[in-house]
Chains A and B, each alone.
Chain A
Amino acid sequence: MRALSECNPIAAALFFLAVTLITMFTMNPVILGISFVCAVVFFCLISPKKGFKQHLLFLGLGLILALINPLVYHNGVTVLFVLNDNPVTLEALIYGIVASVKIIGTLYWFRSFSLIMTEDKLLYCLGSLSPKTAQVLSMALRYVPMFRDQIKKVHLAQKGIGLYKEDNMIDDVRGGLRVFSIIVTWALENGIITADSMAARGYGTGRRTYFSLFRFTKYDGLLVLITLVLSLVPAVLMILHHAEVVYYPVLQLPENTTGTLFIYICFTLLALLPEMLYLEDRISWKYYLSKM
């Protein structure tokens, strides 16, 4: 197997979708705890930088989120203390902490997602859904840096022949507007020639295919299969009210039925999947090096 970053983007996207959806739709503290820990570990594994500031930011955010709930929500039977004539309850505090773990965990998954799913990979996923949209997006992605460069060039060129005659704001803004208006003309002009080039290369002569550099290997198939099994089984069981937690008015943890246990095991395996793939990749590389 290969690390998640090397897998087919669709397989990788499916994994992220599965793990974040389950995380988002449950309030079970065990599942959320597992999700949070795995998300943090995975992010630390793949993040190129230490990301100390990032962790600090997330920690701060988590603390605030955890404390807001008991301060604004006063349901629950176990009163810890009274603040401004309002009871602060244990249940609301626990709920706040669990919700905060859930949100921060999800954010960590998103951070890993954005590290792994680069621009090309997202375009590839979009391309498999709608080739036309992906084509338009690919053209747009070229135009953005081109515009930026052209605007910069026009500004310098105009400055070089004294367009911005006086050194003041009004003159600068006026010049900026004129530059912008000519850039629009330039873009249209460019677009016409690009359209010619597209026609000359057979655009619109028939059904298009969408090409990309990514392949879908049997490992990707396996990954998709594992992801589906490990996410659909707990999802179905959760819909059948296993592993359900009640917070108000009294905290009620789920009974340890086989179903609940099964959910925990499946989800743990799912959330550990990227870490396992990553470590397997590292270990086989080390092993390979030692043989050289």
Chain B
Amino acid sequence: MEILSVENVSFSYAGSAEETLHDISFTVEKGTFVTLTGNTGSGKSTLLRMLKRELIPNGKKSGRVLFNGEDTEKLSDREAATGIGFVMQYPDHQIVTDKVWHELAFGLENLGYPKDIIRRRVSEMACYFGIEEWFEKPVTSLSGGQKQLLNLASVMVTQPEILLLDEPTAQLDPIAASDFIATLKKLNRELSLTIILVEHRLEEAIPACDKLLVLKEGQVLLYDTPEKTAAGLKEWPELLYDMPAAVRLYHAFDIKEAACPLTVREGRDFIEEHFKRDVLSLKKPAYQPESKTALELTDIMFRYEKTLPDVLNGLELKVNEGEIFCVLGGNGSGKSTALSVAAGLRKAYRGKIRVFGKDIREYKNRTLYQECLAMLPQDVQTLFLCNTVKEELEDAKAEKLSLPYDLTHLYERHPYDLSGGEQQLLGFAKVLAAKPRLILLDEPTKGLDPGSRRMIADILRSLKKEGKTILIVTHDVEFAAEIADRCAMFFRGEITSTGVPDDFFSENYFYTTSINRMTRGLYEKIVTLKDAEAILKENGERSW
């Protein structure tokens, strides 16, 4: 049975002549898990909001959306609010109250349920989602993953029939993100809940979903099972960047008889079945680092408060001049703290920091931040102080700077209204305006779509060519594998291993790229898609 059907929906934002959505029609069967994807600006978030009456943005809408056969515009307030649940991207923005239990009860309070029923439903939800441990905590003390789980649970208490999610994992670290998708799958399987998920990071979402819908320029391009949709993307290479590594590898070759692989396991089978294994490794020149050191940390100890445990515990780190160095590690391992200590923003209680050979304490009068070192924080919004992009750049004296990208078309916009990728570029411009020789980046790819991620990678490469040193702290394994000269693993306040990406990732078992997991044991030291393509081409297809 159809739970939702979208009929000829078009939409243009107020003050814009262009249609963001153009004559969209599709139906969703009850109990299916649909993933909706598309490039930035394809209108996928807008489409999702069309389905939730309370969240339709200002603008001109035509066509209609039927929920259980009834026009959503004609539903009662109560039915509209409870029947369709919505989870947004930023965990913090949706939370309303101060305590976890109160947040869970909020939806039910709004509907005027008596206390006993609220008590029962809240306790049931807390159990199902594993929230019991932090049930009485203030919401501000939760991690991002916990907050998003709480948001999901507090939407689920009103027992919606369909759940809409707008990039819910974009702000989470990979482990929390994959847990979140697993929870969605569980809801879908156990409660036959209908789910529509808008997502960029498809590595986890595609294997979990039943249907994959691809939007392009406000129109439905493909809508089918994930295998068929993924297989049909050959003609649109720009859409492939969103896809899991296995799909991209499949499309790099033209093997007609093979089905499109979606997961690491299927990707591995695909390689084994169709390619020879004569050449096992690629020949690459060994990495030759500069002899000069840009940043050196020795025996750093740090804690936030006297009574709290050490966050950095004898940290040793050496970054050579002119290299891109990536620090990887789990949530709460202290890697962001390490970065702010290295930037002189927090003071270590023991140890020595040398920036370009000079002790950090000898940089008097904040000369450290003048043409020497600059840091891009994790939350780029914290860099913006003005009302327009133009003022922002003028204020930082960045307008005359020759940036590797163009922001002029955004000049009149408010920095907060930019997309995640655009904000990152503006943040970068402000960082570069300080003309640093050493750039520290905290999670530069967090929440970004693949297009923006590629742009950031290109910028970093061009900065490296100019001789700048770049230190990145990230969760993003694929990004690090692609860009880094050297990588390091951070664990419990110290660095546990360091190496060039090919060695580093091949020696890791879990903490490595999907491509590496696909090729492990078949070929040696293959970490990125580019390398995988190269070695498979070198070996050639197997003839049967």
Interface residues of A (CB under 8 A from B): 120, 135, 138-139, 141-142, 145-146, 149-150, 153-154, 156-167, 178-179, 181-182, 185-186, 189-190, 193-194, 196-213
Contacts of A146 in B (CB 8 A): 92, 140
Max chain B C-beta neighbours (<10 A), residue from A165, A185, A186, A211: A211
Given contacts A196-B55, A200-B81, A211-B105, contact A139 B110 (CB under 8 A): no
Q: Flag if B430 contacts A161 (CB, 8 Å).
A: yes
Given contacts A150-B382, A190-B93, A196-B55, contact A162 B111 (CB under 8 A): no
Q: Flag if A209 contacts B118 (CB, 8 Å).
A: yes
Q: Flag if B97 contacts A211 (CB, 8 Å).
A: no
Inter-chain residue pair count (beta carbon < 8 A): 171
In-complex Cβ contact of B345 among A160, A186, A194 (8 A): A160
Given contacts A194-B96, A209-B114, A211-B102, contact A201 B158 (CB under 8 A): yes
In-complex Cβ contact of A162 among B97, B138, B434 (8 A): B434
- Cβ of B4 under 8 Å from chain A: no
Q: Flag if A201 contacts B77 (CB, 8 Å).
A: no
Q: Flag if A197 contacts B111 (CB, 8 Å).
A: no
Given contacts A146-B92, A161-B431, A162-B370, contact A200 B82 (CB under 8 A): no
Contacts of B90 in A (CB 8 A): 193
Q: Flag if A153 contacts B379 (CB, 8 Å).
A: yes
Given contacts A166-B366, A200-B52, A200-B55, contact A160 B81 (CB under 8 A): no
- Docked Cα-Cα span, A135 to B140, in Å, equals 17
Contacts of B343 in A (CB 8 A): 160
- Docked Cα-Cα span, A167 to B54, in Å, equals 50
Write 5 A-B pairs (CB below 8 A) sorted by A numbering.
A160-B377, A167-B366, A190-B93, A198-B96, A201-B107
- Which chain B residue has the least Cβ–Cβ distance from A205? B77
Contacts of A162 in B (CB 8 A): 366, 369-370, 374, 434
- Which chain A residue has the least Cβ–Cβ distance from B386? A182
Q: Flag if B113 contacts A161 (CB, 8 Å).
A: no
- Which chain B residue has the least Cβ–Cβ distance from A216? B115
CB contact list, B388-435 vs A, under 8 A:
396, 416, 430-431, 433-434
- Cβ of B358 under 8 Å from chain A: no
Give per-residue flags for B66-97: 1 if the beta carbon is below 8 A from chain A beta carbons, else 0: 00000000000110011001101010111111
Contacts of A212 in B (CB 8 A): 102, 115
Contacts of A213 in B (CB 8 A): 101, 136
Contacts of B92 in A (CB 8 A): 146, 190
Q: Flag if A158 contacts B97 (CB, 8 Å).
A: no
- Cβ of B15 under 8 Å from chain A: no
Contacts of B463 in A (CB 8 A): none
- Which chain A residue has the least Cβ–Cβ distance from B381? A186
- Docked Cα-Cα span, A158 to B357, in Å, equals 25
- Which chain B residue has the least Cβ–Cβ distance from A181? B385
In-complex Cβ contact of A208 among B93, B112, B154, B374 (8 A): B112
- Cβ of B109 under 8 Å from chain A: yes
Least CB distance, A5 to chain B, in whole angstroms: 15
Contacts of A167 in B (CB 8 A): 364-366
Which 6 A-B residue pairs are closest in the complex by CB-CB distance?
A202-B81, A162-B369, A160-B375, A157-B382, A197-B94, A193-B93
Q: Flag if B381 contacts A199 (CB, 8 Å).
A: no
Q: Flag if A157 contacts B383 (CB, 8 Å).
A: yes
- Which chain A residue has the least Cβ–Cβ distance from B431? A161
Least CB distance, A229 to chain B, in whole angstroms: 28
- Cβ of B216 under 8 Å from chain A: no
Q: Flag if B78 contacts A206 (CB, 8 Å).
A: yes
- Docked Cα-Cα span, A158 to B434, in Å, equals 11
Q: Flag if B370 contacts A197 (CB, 8 Å).
A: no
- Cβ of B119 under 8 Å from chain A: yes
Contacts of B140 in A (CB 8 A): 142, 145-146, 149
- Docked Cα-Cα span, A186 to B154, in Å, equals 24
Q: Flag if A194 contacts B366 (CB, 8 Å).
A: no
Q: Flag if B54 contacts A157 (CB, 8 Å).
A: no
- Which chain A residue has the least Cβ–Cβ distance from B108? A211
Give per-residue flags for B425-463: 1 if the beta carbon is below 8 A from chain A beta carbons, else 0: 000001101100000100000000000000000000000
- Docked Cα-Cα span, A207 to B88, in Å, equals 26
Q: Flag if B88 contacts A197 (CB, 8 Å).
A: yes
- Cβ of B243 under 8 Å from chain A: no
In-complex Cβ contact of A201 among B110, B115, B376 (8 A): B110
- Docked Cα-Cα span, A182 to B158, in Å, equals 36
Q: Flag if B99 contacts A120 (CB, 8 Å).
A: yes
- Cβ of B325 under 8 Å from chain A: no
Contacts of B114 in A (CB 8 A): 209
Q: Flag if A139 contacts B98 (CB, 8 Å).
A: yes
Given contacts A138-B98, A211-B115, A211-B118, contact A161 B434 (CB under 8 A): yes
Contacts of B381 in A (CB 8 A): 186
Contacts of B54 in A (CB 8 A): 196, 199-200
Given contacts A166-B365, A201-B158, contact A158 B370 (CB under 8 A): no
Q: Flag if A142 contacts B139 (CB, 8 Å).
A: yes
Give per-residue flags for B202-229: 1 if the beta carbon is below 8 A from chain A beta carbons, else 0: 0000000000000000000000000000
- Docked Cα-Cα span, A271 to B110, in Å, equals 41
Q: Flag if A142 contacts B345 (CB, 8 Å).
A: no
Least CB distance, B278 to chain A, in whole angstroms: 51
- Cβ of B13 under 8 Å from chain A: no
Contacts of A138 in B (CB 8 A): 97-99, 102
- Cβ of B384 under 8 Å from chain A: yes
Q: Flag if A142 contacts B416 (CB, 8 Å).
A: no
Contacts of A149 in B (CB 8 A): 140
Least CB distance, B49 to chain A, in whole angstroms: 9
Interface contacts beyond A159-B369, A161-B396, A202-B111: sample of 11 additional A-B pairs, CB < 8 Å, sorted by A: A142-B140, A153-B379, A162-B366, A167-B365, A182-B384, A200-B52, A201-B154, A203-B106, A203-B110, A211-B122, A212-B115
Max chain B C-beta neighbours (<10 A), residue from A120, A156, A163, A202: A202
Q: Flag if A153 contacts B109 (CB, 8 Å).
A: no
- Docked Cα-Cα span, A213 to B101, in Å, equals 8
Q: Flag if B366 contacts A202 (CB, 8 Å).
A: no
